[in-house]
Amino acid sequence: MNLFLDAWHYLTDSANWGGPTGIQTRIGQHLWYSFLAVALSAVVAVPLGLVIGHTRRGAALLVGFANAMRALPTLGLLTFMVLLLGLGLIPPLLALVTVGIPPLLAGAYAGITNVSANVVDASRAMGMTERQILFRVEVPNALPILLTGLRGATLQVVATATIAAYVNLGGLGRYIFDGISLYRYDRVLVGALLVAVLAMALDGLMALLTWVTAPGTGRLRRKFPHSSDEPEVAAPARTSASA
């Protein structure tokens, strides 16, 4: 019980929130590392998933690649990267990318392949190019599943970004690693609680975004009424049909 009380007192002490090593700074650092890792993962995974989902080629290779990345031990990979590249931000980012790529890759591929074949065939019959079909038909319809993949990647990266403290960087992992080395397990609990709360908050935000962007519901148009004045999908379809 004293462990939880000490953690609560630490969290409720305003002196622990400010300064270069305060909780606010650690949260900002944790979010920054997570954002960089998710963005880098998306740059690699999303285009690959979109292309494979659209062409229906290389699916077996994609599944094998994603499973291989899931099997990699993150902390062991981080240690290897540090030995290879030295200390800094690059080793933890590369280790976190292996966590972020699989859900993004799976979400992009599954989202595109789940678009109705009738919709795709109708788009081709209207004279749309393959690029137009992908970005103006398949991607908008696949957006909820794409965001679900992004949601999974964000959760996993945020939960794993504590490893940045293993190579003397900041973030919420500092409370965990420093607490273990100093035998201050209340600090370890503080770090774990903050990571859990941050992950749940981001998960709720991503769930709301997925719900809003569901195609056919009109929720996005109600949230942003000015977007109804710009028929982005309909206009290109008419232009390409006339061509």
pLDDT at position 97 is 93
Residue spans of the chain under pLDDT 50: 224, 226-243
The closest alpha carbon to 105, from 31, 162, 200, 38, belongs to: 38
Going by C-alpha positions, the residue among 93, 106, 113, 111 that lies closest to residue 64 is 106
Q: What pLDDT, on the 0 to 100 scale, is given for residue 75?
A: 85
pLDDT of amino acid 232: 42
Length of the chain: 243
Phi-psi region of 200 (alpha: psi -120 to 50; beta: other; left: phi over 0): alpha
pLDDT (0 to 100) of residue 29: 95
Q: Residue 94's pLDDT is what?
A: 92
Q: Which long-range contacts (CB under 8 A, 24 or more apart) does 72-75 make?
A: 72/98, 74/98, 74/99, 74/160, 74/163, 75/163, 75/166
What domains can you pick out in the chain, each with its CATH number? Answer: 27-242 (1.10.3720.10)
Contact of 77 with 98, CB cutoff 8 Å: yes
> 176 vs 4, 42, 144, 195, 240, CA distance in Å?
15, 28, 35, 10, 57
**CA 203: distance to chain centroid?**
10
pTM of the predicted model as reported, rounded to 2 decimal places: 0.83
